[in-house]
């Protein structure tokens, strides 16, 4: 997943936008030739959109969020209304399912789903029935090889950085990633619910704080703090890192030896959507192998669409960042949704450290 270029942590802004959209949607529309998608920014090829619009005459409206949490907030605020398609991470599916916000996959309207590898379809709870895999990738460390003494190999290089890097680190404000990868750094599972283990992670994160410049995910242009050198190391997602490595050859991306996180993004159709048909049409459209390949080339992420691989370049398919090696994949984990007290505990840890 990609974080938006503009990370605007404005609660207020988020609140207004869905309301506006909800309002718009609630207006009587004669022919529902509309589609609203809630997504990360730069996570959709505009050309493809245009193509779709041209083909179907359906007007596509994109709404963006900067983090999973914010996405959750947006949906909570509207109570699942206002968006037709939502791009969500794996664990989110169960959350939204529980809230009864999800529409079951309409196989009939979306035959192209057959192109998607089974593996991805079942990766998460309720994902098979309610979510269409979008892209998958890894979570690792992006760093400036020229600005660190020791080359990064372990998560501990990030969580217990070498001296001199105070204020030179960054990470997205993602509790799953920080706590999860922290657990992995300490040799535990990223989905651990053990209080003792979590306490250790709490300590780890607390001590890391002084190295953190901020908990804001870097931008992905030439002004990126990783390129300017404001930060020398950050927790990053594979595709984003790939973009940066192409901008600056000093930037490297690695999934540390402990393994990282394999994330899978899905597209879900909201139950409260009034444009479900359009939604399925869209989902079907983008899962056309050619289209899926086009998308992949745009976002630089691994597509779950097996058939799309036919249309992808060798370079693409052999890129280690996009398609990490087996051993790393084996060590890496999917995030599970955490519940109950463990969740509570994580919430509290994250809330108190990452303010």
Partner 1 sequence: MFNLQRKITLLILPIVLVGILVMGISAYVLMKSIIEENLHEELEAIIGNVTLIIKEKIKVAESNIDLFAQNDFVKRYALASQDERYDLLQEPLIRLFITYQKAYPDYYELRFITKKGFEDTRINNLGIENKTEDEFNSEIFKRIQQSQSDTYSGFHVNKDNDVLALHVIKKIIIRDNSIDNISAKPTLRGYLAVTISLDFIKDVINKQKVLDNGFIFSADNYGTILSTEMHKAKIKELPLDINNQFISSAKQLKNSSRDFFQSARLIEGLTIYGYIPYSDLEIKYRTFGKITVITTIVILLLALFLVYSVLRKMIVKPVIALDNAAQTMATGSLDIKIDLKQNDELGKLAESFNHMAANLRELNEYNNFIAHHDSLTGLPNRLMFHEYLSEVIENAKRYKIKFAIIYIDLDNFKKVNDSLGHQSGDLLLKEVSIRIATCLRDGDKMKETKKDMPGDMLARLGGDEFIVFLPYIQSPYDVSQIAERILEALGSSIKIEGHKVYTNASMGITIFPEDGEDENILMRNADIAMYYAKDKGKNNYQYFSSDLNNVIARRVIIENKLRKAIKKNILELHYQPKIDTRTSEIIGVEALVRWTDKDEGNISTVEFINIAEETGLIIEVGEWVINEACKQIKKWEGVFDSQLQVSVNVSSIQVDRSDLIGTIKNALENYKIDPALLDIELTESALMRASKNSIEVLNNIRRLGVSISLDDFGTGYSSLSYLREFPIDTLKIDRSFIKEISENNKEAKLVMAIISMAHSLDLKVVAEGVELKYQYDFLKEKNCDIIQGYYISKPVPKEELVNRFSLNNYKKDLLLQVQ
Kindly list the residues in this chain that would bind partner 1 in the complex (CB under 8 A): 11, 69, 72-73, 76, 95, 98-99, 175, 337, 339-341, 343-344, 347-348, 350-352, 355
Instruction: Tell the smallest beta-carbon distance from residue 97 to partner 1 (Å).
Output: 11
Instruction: Tell the smallest beta-carbon distance from residue 11 to partner 1 (Å).
Output: 8
Of 237, 170, 252, 261, nearest in space to 208 by CA:
170
Query: Cβ atoms within 10 A of the Cβ of 290, count?
Result: 13
Smaller CB distance to partner 1: residue 87 or 227?
Answer: 87
CB 254 within 8 A of CB 248: no
* CA 208/CA 131 separation, integer angstroms: 36
Smaller CB distance to partner 1: residue 17 or 48?
Answer: 17
Instruction: Tell the smallest beta-carbon distance from residue 93 to partner 1 (Å).
Output: 12
CB 237 within 8 A of CB 137: yes
Smaller CB distance to partner 1: residue 16 or 76?
Answer: 76
Smaller CB distance to partner 1: residue 110 or 354?
Answer: 354
Instruction: Tell the smallest beta-carbon distance from residue 209 to partner 1 (Å).
Output: 11
Smaller CB distance to partner 1: residue 66 or 309?
Answer: 66
Instruction: Tell the smallest beta-carbon distance from residue 81 to partner 1 (Å).
Output: 14
* CA 41/CA 282 separation, integer angstroms: 18
Scored b (16 or more CB within 10 A) or e, 155-165 reads bbbbbebeeeb
CB 103 within 8 A of CB 268: yes
The SS3 assignment for 162 reads coil
* CA 30/CA 234 separation, integer angstroms: 48
Smaller CB distance to partner 1: residue 171 or 226?
Answer: 171
The secondary structure of residue 199, as a DSSP letter, is: H
Instruction: Tell the smallest beta-carbon distance from residue 89 to partner 1 (Å).
Output: 13
Instruction: Tell the smallest beta-carbon distance from residue 317 to partner 1 (Å).
Output: 37
Instruction: Tell the smallest beta-carbon distance from residue 166 to partner 1 (Å).
Output: 19
Instruction: Tell the smallest beta-carbon distance from residue 94 to partner 1 (Å).
Output: 8
Kindly tell me the number of DSSP H helices and DSSP E strands found in the chain.
16, 9
> Phi/psi of residue 309, each to 5°?
-60, -30
- Helical H segments across 186-313, by residue range: 195-208, 225-228, 238-247, 276-286, 289-299
* CA 126/CA 102 separation, integer angstroms: 10
Smaller CB distance to partner 1: residue 138 or 192?
Answer: 192
Smaller CB distance to partner 1: residue 291 or 346?
Answer: 346
State the DSSP string of 111-149.
GGGGGB-HHHHTSSTTHHHHEEEEEEEEEEEEEETTT-S
Q: Which residues contact 180 (CB under 8 A, 6 or more apart)?
A: 190, 191, 261, 333, 335
Smaller CB distance to partner 1: residue 18 or 256?
Answer: 18
Query: Cβ atoms within 10 A of the Cβ of 107, count?
Result: 10
């Amino acid at each position: 997943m990609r974080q938006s270029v503009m990370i605007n942590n404005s609660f207020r802004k988020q609140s207004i936008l869905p309301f506006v959209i909800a309002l718009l949607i609630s207006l009587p529309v004669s022919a529902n030739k509309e589609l609203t998608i809630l997504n990360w920014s730069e996570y959709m090829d505009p050309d493809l959109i245009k193509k779709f619009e041209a083909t179907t005459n359906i007007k596509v409206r994109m709404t963006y969020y900067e983090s999973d949490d914010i996405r959750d907030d947006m949906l909570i605020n509207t109570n699942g209304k206002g968006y037709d398609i939502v791009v969500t991470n794996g664990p989110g599916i169960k959350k939204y399912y529980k809230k009864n916000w999800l529409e079951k996959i309409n196989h009939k309207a979306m035959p192209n789903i057959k192109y998607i590898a089974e593996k991805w379809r079942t990766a998460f709870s309720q994902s098979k029935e309610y979510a269409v895999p979008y892209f998958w990738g890894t979570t690792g460390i992006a760093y400036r090889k020229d600005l660190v003494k020791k080359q990064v190999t372990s998560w501990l290089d990030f969580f217990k950085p070498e001296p001199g890097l105070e204020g030179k680190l960054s990470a997205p404000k993602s509790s799953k990633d920080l706590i999860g990868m922290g657990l992995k750094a300490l040799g535990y599972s990223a989905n651990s619910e053990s209080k003792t283990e979590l306490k250790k992670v709490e300590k780890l994160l607390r001590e890391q704080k002084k190295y953190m410049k901020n908990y804001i995910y870097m931008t992905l242009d030439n002004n990126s703090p990783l390129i300017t050198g404001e930060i020398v190391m950050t927790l990053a997602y594979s595709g984003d890192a790939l973009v940066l490595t192409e901008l600056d050859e000093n930037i490297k991306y690695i999934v540390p030896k402990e393994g990282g996180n394999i994330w899978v993004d899905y597209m879900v159709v909201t139950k409260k959507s009034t444009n479900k048909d359009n939604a399925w049409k869209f989902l079907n459209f983008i899962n056309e192998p050619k289209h899926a390949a086009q998308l992949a080339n745009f976002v630089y992420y691994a597509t779950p669409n097996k058939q799309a691989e036919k249309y992808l370049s060798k370079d693409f398919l052999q890129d280690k960042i996009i398609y990490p090696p087996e051993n790393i994949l084996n060590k890496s984990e999917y995030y599970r949704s955490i519940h109950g007290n463990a969740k509570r505990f994580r919430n509290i840890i994250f809330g108190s450290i990452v303010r």
